[in-house]
Amino acid sequence: MSRGPGWLAQHWLTVASPVALLIGWEVASAVGLLREAFFPRPSTVLVHLRRLVADGTLLGHALPTLSRIGGAFALAAILGVVTGLAMGLWRRLREGLDPVFAVVYPIPSVLFLPFVSFLVPRGETALIVTTAATSFFLIAFTTTEGVRQIDPLVVEAARHYGARGRRLFTAVLLPGALPFIFTGLRLGLGYALIVVVAVEIVSASRGLGALLWLSWQVLKVEDMYATFLVIAALGAVLSYGLAALRARLLPWAQDVAER
Amino acid sequence: MKVEPVKVVVDDVSVAFDSRGHTVVALDRISLAVAAGEFLCVVGPSGSGKSTLLRVVAGLLRQTSGDVRIEAERPGAPLTAMVFQEHALLPWRTVLANVVFGLENRGVSRAQREARAREMLALVGLSRFARHYPHQLSGGMKQRVGIARALANDPEVLLMDEPFAALDAQTRTIMQEELLRIWATLGTTVIYVTHSLEEALLLGDRVVLMTARPGRVSQVFPVELGRPRGLEIRSSPAYGVLLEKIWTELRDEVLKSMEADRDP
């Protein structure tokens, strides 16, 4: 995936749409179409963002969030991929776990918090486990599908050419499932961000979610939007980062996806 | 013609499987002998068990009864290597990595297996594409990789399951000529399944005609058209006579097979 000079020409909408949104907002607030008390101009928000960065407030709240996302994502990724692979390989396990997953998965993640607090130490551990829950299900689901969608003819050919047991797993089933696993990881990382902010709003004194909520409660609307921007940017960076990693690691799957 | 020793013996092989409570007989007491270095074509209507026969010889499917024997001449070489209808390459492996796959699984050293793979890629004319991935190749090129992958293993018998059926007509013709050239170079024993009589007559030393389900050997036709062969054999009278003769038999089997598929 190379971003030559033609990239901007082809994907100008990707850049133009957020810029147009911000300009529209700026103008609407400036002319009084939007009430500045609730919808401060983006330029004003940027000024406040710079202040939050300068006085260290933002970093103090961003670091705990990042470390929670890191912990939750690692937990969800490891358990999700392992569970998903096992479910993809063994029909019995899949049949046993499917109904359980189907019931638990749609529950809004934040609601796991009290339940999780009974099982693990309250505080950080409970926050991380709760954040990991939804991501875990997403990653396990996509990994299972990743194993199941591998062309049986390819597996038969690989067996015919002598791939058995562990070798069949490492050389055929795992690489065959990887594009789906990456999709699951990307979705899971996105959800980890969504859930961690929600969980921080309910039960943390530090973290971007907490900062957002605190700013709202004391009506520091500009700070709220500034935090909002940071969370949005974080989401975009994580998502595109994982997509770039996929392109680097799975060149054979990339061209197919872009078609 | 020199009499070659027997390479493959299919002795009284039957395959039956259960389908929704019914026993379906795919192969019914098939017996065949393939000579070393022979190019044997198997034709028959769909459902005649051609692919099933090939899968049994490949060891991908176990027969219900009967016996398959392959005379091994080279210790360490696999008995069979199959070229699959839908190429069945590993999409995440480059062309070179696909061709070395069998050797890699057998523990052949890296230097040795890559040298062998490059030799085979040169043979099928794909040396420049060693680092490409399968999805970057055309259908014909993928099938060339499939052939190189099979040949890299230096199998006692090369099995081909309608390898060119999915290709367009021009590509198919080129591939058939290429295959004949490669076969003439290597002298491998080939069992080739096809639904095309024209293809069987162009390629084969003999044509085995199978019946509609349950698959039996209906007749075996020697193809005495001389070698090397090219498309020009189509204008020879002997070709027309043989084609007509086999088609008359095949036609009946195709009609029977269509009849069996119809609602009672």
Q: Is the pLDDT of residue A216 over 80?
A: yes
- Kindly state the DSSP code that residue A170 receives in the 8-state scheme: I
Reported confidence tier of residue B20, pLDDT bands at 50, 70, 90:
confident
CA distance B239 to chain A (A): 35
Question: Which residues of B are less than 8 Å from A159 in CB distance?
Answer: 60
**Burial class of residue B111, CB neighbours in 10 A (0-12, 13-18, 19+):** exposed
pLDDT value for A259: 38
CB contact under 8 A, B58 and A160: yes
Contact B135 A175 (CB under 8 A): no
Check A172 against B90: CB less than 8 A apart.
Answer: yes
User: What chain B residue is nearest to A257 in terms of C-alpha separation?
Assistant: B135
Contact yes or no for B191/B42 (Cβ under 8 A):
yes
pLDDT of residue B174 exceeding 60, the answer is yes
CA gap B157, B78 in Å, rounded? 9
| Chain A interface disruption, residue of B55, B61, B90, B137, most A CBs within 10 A | B90
Predicted confidence (pLDDT) per residue in B87-105, tens digit = 899 999 999 999 999 999 9
Q: Pick B91's closest partner by Cβ from A161, A163, A252.
A: A252
Answer yes or no: do A172 and B133 touch at CB < 8 A. Answer: no
What residue type is A79 in one-letter code? L
Quick: pLDDT tens for A67-118. 999 999 999 999 999 999 999 999 999 999 999 999 988 888 888 888 888 8
| pLDDT average, residue stretch B108-115 | 96
Q: Give yes or no for residue A5 having a pLDDT over 70.
A: no
Phi, psi values for residue B156, rounded to 5°: -65, -40
Inform me whether the pLDDT recorded for A255 exceeds 60.
Answer: no
Q: Do B82 and A158 touch (CB under 8 A)?
A: no
| Whether pLDDT at A257 is above 50 | no
Are the Cβ atoms of B89 and A251 closer than 8 angstroms? no
Q: Which of residues 56-95 of B touch A (CB under 8 A)?
A: 58-60, 78, 81-82, 84, 86, 88-93
pLDDT, position A118: 86
> What pLDDT was estimated at residue A2?
52
Looking at residue A78, its pLDDT comes to: 98
Contact B49, B210 (CB under 8 A): yes
Judge whether residue B129 has pLDDT over 50: yes
A158 touches chain B (CB under 8 A): yes
Return the minimum-mean-pLDDT range out of A202-206, B74-78, B196-200: B74-78
Q: What mean pLDDT is reported for chain B?
A: 92
> Which of the residue ranges A5-9, A128-132, B90-94 would you say has the lowest mean pLDDT?
A5-9
pLDDT over 70 at A4, yes or no: no
Closest CA relative to residue A124, chosen from A221, A236, A207, A19: A207
CB contact under 8 A, B84 and A151: no
Quote the CA–CA distance of B61 and B254 in Å, as a whole number: 25
Q: Nearest CA to B90 among A166, A82, A178? A: A178
- The reply to whether A178 touches chain B by the CB within 8 Å rule is yes
Cα gap B215→B24, rounded to integer Å: 11
Q: Rounded CA gap, B89 and B250, in Å?
A: 32
Describe the strand order of the beta sheet including B22-35 as a list of residue ranges: B22-35, B6-19, B65-70
CB contact under 8 A, B92 and A175: yes
Cβ-contact B103, B178 below 8 angstroms = no
Q: Quick one: DSSP state of residue B75?
A: T
Give me the residue from A153, A163, A172 closest to B84, CB to CB: A153
How far apart are the C-alpha atoms of A171 and A161, rounded to whole Å? 12
Tell me how far apart the alpha carbons of residues A81 and B165 are, in angstroms, rounded to a whole number: 38
pTM check: above 0.90: no
User: How open is the CA angle A109-A101-A197, to the nearest 5 degrees?
Assistant: 15
Report ipTM for this prediction.
Answer: 0.90
Query: How large is the average pLDDT for residues B61-76?
Result: 91
- Answer whether residue A167 shows pLDDT above 90: yes
Which whole number is the average pLDDT over A114-142?
A: 91
Q: Give the residue ranges of DSSP H helices in chain A.
A: 6-10, 12-30, 42-54, 57-89, 91-104, 112-119, 124-148, 152-160, 165-168, 174-203, 208-217, 221-249, 251-258
With H, G, I as helix, E, B as strand and everything else as coil, classify residue B112: helix
User: Which residue of chain B comes nearest to A176, CA vs CA?
Assistant: B92
Q: Indicate the average pLDDT of chain A.
A: 91
In the predicted model, what is the mean pLDDT of residues B197-225?
A: 93
State the Cα–Cα distance between residues B39 and B18, nearest whole angstrom.
33
Q: Give the SS3 label for residue B151.
A: helix
